[in-house]
Structures are given as C-alpha cells and as structure tokens.
C-alpha cells in the first residue's frame, strides 16, 4: 500500500496592495481600449470604493434587490470606471465586461446607469444630482423603518453645486443618521472655485465630520463605520490619479485615454 504523503498547498489571498494594483490596471486598460473615461477621477476614489464594498456595505450580488441592503450612490458619475472595477471584482458582473466599457452595445457607459448595471443604485453623472437622490433614499428607508445605510461619494468640484447644500440641510433637519457623504477632496476644483475647509462647512450644517487620508484603508473603515447619531460627512483627502505616478495631479489626464504606446509605461508605473 502506497501512503499518500502529499500536502495540500496553501493558497494565500492576495494582499490589499496587489488587489488595488490589479484594479488600477483594469481601469487604465479599459480606458485605453475604449478611448473613453476619466481615469484620474476613478483612481482618486478607488480606495474608498474598495473599503466600502469589501468591508462595510451590506450588499452582495445575491442581495442587490433586498429591501434591507445598504445603498451606495456615486454622485460623481464620471468616475464610473472605479465603481465598475470594484463591482466586477466583487462579481456583480463578469470582469470580462470591462473590456466593452464605452462600447455602443455595452451596459458600462461613461456614467453609471441604474437600469443596466447590476449593483448601481442610481443613474448619475449630472453633477449635484446623485447626492439629493441619496438623501431621498435615506428618507425613504427612515419612513419604511428599514435598517440600512446610504453612502454617497461626491466630488469636491461637485460641492460647488447648490443641490449639495440643499440636500445637506434637509438631511440634518431630519437627522438622517444612516446617511454618509464622502467628499473626494482631490483639490481638482481649486483653480475654479476653492472650497477651503469643506469639513467646517458641513459642520455648520450640523453634520458630524471626520477628515481622513482617502487612501488609508484602516482610517477609511473607522470613519465609514462611525455612527454619531447625525448625518456623517467624511472628508477624504485624495490624490487625483493616485497609484499611477505619471497621472497624479496632472490636469492633462483628466479626460484622456492612453495610447497603445503609452499603456505599457503607465501599467509599469502602478504602485
């Protein structure tokens, strides 16, 4: 009798750094193929999205229609590639679909469509519209007495819109303590209209505010799970184009896709 002495190989899960690097590569590759997309904006919020879907949100591909699920709204819809990459990684749809991004027949458009993309709660892209929808969702959950939270990412440039502050006032009035607004503060609006201390502005609207490094996963997790009893604003200090040095804080890349010759260099520069 031959004794089987083989030992099962232990497969280690990829590190968070490896996961993030892979997601950044998918975003850049999808934009390169489609000749479409806002890559730096997607990279700016990628860490926020990953912490939300990996550790915070009570929603899965199997529960996307459950009434008790948490809701997420990407108000800055032009950063859709970041959301698509995370949803694909979490198997809301096949990762291969990213290759069709921006195509005529693709369900993955330049802005997320809540009628087409599994896991997308609201069609967004017209800046200033997604956040009021998130406030409405939070009010609806309150009326129905459902134990779910609503998270919404807004851009700092988007915070120039009056609808953001109208929504903030309404949420504070109704003490929507299950609503969390994450401001992607990458300073892309500074030249057009500087926001200054945006945390102080939300605080003046009677929101609880925390300021964090928007690329620090543990700091994000602590802030995203904070429940002070009033609406929460997280001011996430981020770098536009984070993780791809040639793109970081370079306005030239705002709405530009890499050429075939540029792609290898950008992928090689990912951290």
For residue 5, the model assigns a pLDDT of 46
Query: Which tens digits make up the pLDDT trace of 210-234?
Result: 999 999 999 999 999 999 999 999 9
Is residue 7 pLDDT above 70, yes or no? Answer: no
Q: Which of 118, 213, 212, 203 is nearest to 168 (CA)?
A: 203
As a whole number of angstroms, the distance between CA 81 and CA 36 comes to 10
Task: Say how many C-beta atoms besides its own lie within 10 A of residue 98's C-beta.
Answer: 23
For residue 252, the model assigns a pLDDT of 93
Q: Which of 156, 122, 125, 132 is nearest to 45 (CA)?
A: 156
Q: Could you write out the DSSP letters of every residue in the chain?
A: -------PPP-PPPPHHHHHHHHHHHHHHHHHHHT---HHHHHHHHHHHHHIIIII----TTSTT-TTS-EEEESSGGGHHHHHHHHHHTTSS-GGGGGGTT-TT-S--SS--TTTSTT--S---STTSHHHHHHHHHHHHHHHT----EEEEEETTGGGSHHHHHHHHHHHHTT-TTEEEEEEE--TTHHHH----HHHHHHHTT-EEEEEETT-HHHHHHHHT---SS-EEEEEE--TTTTBTTTTT-GGGTT----TTTHHHHHHTB-
* Alpha carbon of residue 50 to chain centroid: 7
Share of the chain above pLDDT 90, in %: 90
- Binning pLDDT at 50, 70 and 90, where does residue 11 land? low
pTM, to two decimals? 0.94
Q: What are phi and psi of 33, to 5 degrees?
A: -70, -45
Query: Which residue ranges form the domains of the chain, and what is each CATH number?
Result: 16-248+264-268 (3.40.50.970)
Task: Say how many C-beta atoms besides its own lie within 10 A of residue 24's C-beta.
Answer: 26
Alpha-carbon torsion angle 109, 40, 50, 23, nearest 10: 80
236 with 212: CB under 8 angstroms? yes
Query: Which tens digits make up the pLDDT trace of 18-57?
Result: 999 999 999 999 999 999 999 999 999 999 999 999 999 9
Is residue 8 pLDDT above 70, yes or no? Answer: no
For residue 151, the model assigns a pLDDT of 98
Instruction: List Cα–Cα distances, 28 to 12, 63, 167, in angstroms.
Output: 26, 29, 33
């Amino acid at each position: 009798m031959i004794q089987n002495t083989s030992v099962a190989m232990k497969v280690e899960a990829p590190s968070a750094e490896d996961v993030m690097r892979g997601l950044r590569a998918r975003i850049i590759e999808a934009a390169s193929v489609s000749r479409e997309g806002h890559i730096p904006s997607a990279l700016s919020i990628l860490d926020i999205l990953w912490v939300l879907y990996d550790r915070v949100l009570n929603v899965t591909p199997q529960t996307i229609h459950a009434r008790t699920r948490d809701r997420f709204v990407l108000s800055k819809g032009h950063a859709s590639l970041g959301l698509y990459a995370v949803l694909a990684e979490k198997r809301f749809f096949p990762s291969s679909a990213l290759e069709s991004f921006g195509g005529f027949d693709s369900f993955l458009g330049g802005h997320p469509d809540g009628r087409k993309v599994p896991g997308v709660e609201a069609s967004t892209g017209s800046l200033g519209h997604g956040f009021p929808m998130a406030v409405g969702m939070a009010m609806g959950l309150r009326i129905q007495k459902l134990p779910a939270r609503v998270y919404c990412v807004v851009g700092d440039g988007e915070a120039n819109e009056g609808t953001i502050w109208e929504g903030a006032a309404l949420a504070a009035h109704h003490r929507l303590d299950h609503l969390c607004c994450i401001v992607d503060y990458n300073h892309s609006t500074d030249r057009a209209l500087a926001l200054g201390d945006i945390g102080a502005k939300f605080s003046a609207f009677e929101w609880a505010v925390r300021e964090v490094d928007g690329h620090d996963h543990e700091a994000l997790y602590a802030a995203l799970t904070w429940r002070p009893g009033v609406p929460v604003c997280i001011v996430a200090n981020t770098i536009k184009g984070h993780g791809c040095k040639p793109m970081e804080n370079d306005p030239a890349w705002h709405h530009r896709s890499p050429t075939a010759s540029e792609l290898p260099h950008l992928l090689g520069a990912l951290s």
